[in-house]
Amino acid sequence: MKELLKDILDNDGVNGVIILTDEGKSIFEDISSKISMNPNEIDWNSFIDAIRGYREVELMYERGLIYVRKIEFGFMIVFMEIYTQMAMVRLNCDIVLPSLQDLKENKKYKQLFKR
Amino acid sequence: MIKSVLIVDDDQEMLLALKDGLGKYHETFSLLLAEDGLKAIDILNSKTISLVVTDLKMPGMDGFALLAHIMESYPDIPVVVITGYSTAEMERLAREGGAVGYIAKPFMIETLARKILITLRKESEGGTLHSVSSGIFLQLMEMEQKTCTIRLSGKDSEKTGVLFFRDGELLDARVDDMQGKPAAYEIFSWDEVTLSIQNECPPMENRIQSDLQPIILEAMRLRDEKDSKDTESSDIVFEDVKAKPAKVINVLEDIKKKLEDNLGNRTGMEDLYYDNKWSSLLDQMEQIGSMFHLGSLKIGYIDSGEENALVLIPGKETTVLKINQKAPRDRVLQLLYD
């Protein structure tokens, strides 16, 4: 999975990517040490409920950006520095989306999607 | 946040020597000076002090009495004792009385400076956050059942305050000489705060005796009441019906003008209006940002895959900018962010 998301993670300013299922279960995390919060400590369910129905959400904070992209089985969340070239990150997300959608059929990840 | 250290000593020369010697740490802490315990209490009642350094033998209220008063009324403020009459018994009494440090005179100023710096560091050991919404952040403290002491300063207020949490329960609050619920109402009325977290809470009684949510709501109500009184007593009298729309139009017009000035007729703007139905979504997003220490939310962009996307700008009223697919999205967001 990390190889699949390499182009996103390699963007200057990207601090991490999380992939969540529609139920808020994390199936992939690659978070830089710059992010002091442990993503496992977050109740993603309520966040997912809030953004359900949106294709893209972009959040600009004082000290960083969060980009959320709907994928077939859940959401991809990208954490970035404020200076990150968003257009490039979105482009890389567009490129990787079809491969992510194939994941659900991949034996290695299949069990993660079982409730 | 520059911290304030109060030095109490009846020896004027000593006070001046300490003021000179510790002056080089002015970027970390500022100094306040008092000649005896009673003057120190006046300062404690009117300023937020991070640490007290006190002599023991002083006329009027001596160092032991001051130490006892601080432990009773300001248990979060550490006290370092300095004395020219040091004995083992004095040190034992000072430490049992709650002093975190004991230094016999004469001493090197660097020894005291080191003790001050180490003690002050504890005040923000759990981290410092800038420009966060106090209500949202403190509800997280409650949810996560934190035990901590939080020191806050309001962006628009010169005051600083302290909140004490044990296992997520707000036990007490203090702003100047105000304590308990009135102090909590004051703190929760500050829009954006800078706060530092100390991962411990001194033993103290529960003066609040209430969940956080009602306190926050009451603080908001009191602030609104105060704002409306301020408006009523203002020299400029607006008719009630006209005042609010005039303000709304100005903010919206400012945004429209900014976009048009920079993008000409390529703004992609379809509509621009206020709609508070997005507030709860923005609150959720603000919470996520706080958890990742990203500061306050400035702009939200949502795309449902329909013809138009929405740009949401948080505020007392949520501004909604509807843009079409031809809009230069990144440019629009950057302009509004700036």
B24 with B106, same domain: the answer is yes
**What CATH number corresponds to the domain at position B258?**
3.30.450.30
CB pair distance less than 8 Å for B333 and A53: no
CA dist list (Å): B49 to B2, B22, B112, B251: 11, 16, 17, 39
Confirm whether B235 is domain-assigned.
Answer: no
CA dist list (Å): B190 to B51, B156, B297: 24, 7, 16
Last residue of a domain, one of B74, B108, B123: B123
- Point out the residues of chain A with pLDDT beneath 50: 115
CB pair distance less than 8 Å for A64 and B289: yes
Return the SS3 of A83.
coil
Q: Which of A34, A35, A36, A60 to mutate to probe the B interface, most B CBs <10 Å?
A: A60
The answer to whether B291 and B248 are in contact (CB under 8 A) is no
Last residue of a domain, one of B123, B151, B167: B123
B269 with B223, same domain: the answer is no
Closest residue to A57, CB basis, from B289, B302, B337: B302
B160 with B214, same domain: the answer is yes
Q: What is the CA radius of gyration of chain A?
A: 13
Q: Provide the number of CB pairs (under 8 Å) joining chain A to chain B.
A: 80
B16 with B112, same domain: the answer is yes
pLDDT at B231: 58
B14 with B116, same domain: the answer is yes
From chain A residues 20-59, the ones with a CB under 8 A of any chain B CB are: 35-37, 41-42, 46-47, 50-51, 53-59
Give the pLDDT of chain B (338 residues) as one tens digit per residue: 678 999 999 999 999 999 999 988 888 889 999 999 989 999 998 888 999 999 999 888 889 999 999 998 888 899 999 998 888 988 999 999 999 999 998 899 999 999 999 998 888 777 777 777 777 777 777 777 888 888 888 766 667 888 999 888 889 998 877 888 888 888 888 877 888 888 888 888 888 888 887 888 888 788 777 766 665 554 444 434 344 444 555 788 889 888 988 888 888 899 999 888 888 889 888 888 888 888 889 999 999 888 889 999 998 888 999 998 888 888 899 889 88
State the ipTM, two decimals. 0.88
Q: What range defines the domain where residue B101 resides?
A: 3-123
pLDDT at A79: 93
From chain A residues 53-112, the ones with a CB under 8 A of any chain B CB are: 53-64, 66, 79, 86-87
* Residues of chain B with C-beta less than 8 angstroms from the C-beta of A66: 285, 288-289, 292, 294
B217 with B250, same domain: the answer is no
Superfamily for the A6-113 domain: Dynein light chain 2a, cytoplasmic (3.30.450.30)
B103 with B132, same domain: the answer is no
B286 with B202, same domain: the answer is no
Confirm whether B330 is domain-assigned.
Answer: yes
Closest B-chain CA to A63: B294
CB pair distance less than 8 Å for A63 and B295: yes
Confirm whether B251 is domain-assigned.
Answer: yes
State the total domains in chain B: 3
B67 with B106, same domain: the answer is yes
The answer to whether B35 and B6 are in contact (CB under 8 A) is no
pLDDT at B233: 53
B208 with B291, same domain: the answer is no
Confirm whether B237 is domain-assigned.
Answer: no
In SS3 terms, B75-138 reads as CCCCEEEEECCCCHHHHHHHHHCCCCEEEECCCCHHHHHHHHHHHHHHHCCCCEEEEEEHHHHH
Instruction: Provide the 10 A C-beta neighbour count for residue B214.
Output: 10
Last residue of a domain, one of B206, B230, B254: B230
Give just the sign of the alpha carbon dihedral A93, A97, A99, A100. positive
Confirm whether B28 is domain-assigned.
Answer: yes
* Residues of chain B with C-beta less than 8 angstroms from the C-beta of A86: 330, 333
* Residues of chain B with C-beta less than 8 angstroms from the C-beta of A56: 301-303, 309
On whether the pTM is more than 0.80, the answer is no
Instruction: Provide the 10 A C-beta neighbour count for residue B269.
Output: 20
CB pair distance less than 8 Å for A37 and B291: yes
CB pair distance less than 8 Å for A62 and B131: yes
**Joined tokens for residue B115:** 């003790």
Confirm whether B75 is domain-assigned.
Answer: yes
Interface of chain B toward chain A, CB-CB under 8 angstroms? 127, 130-131, 281, 284-285, 288-289, 291-305, 309, 330, 333, 337
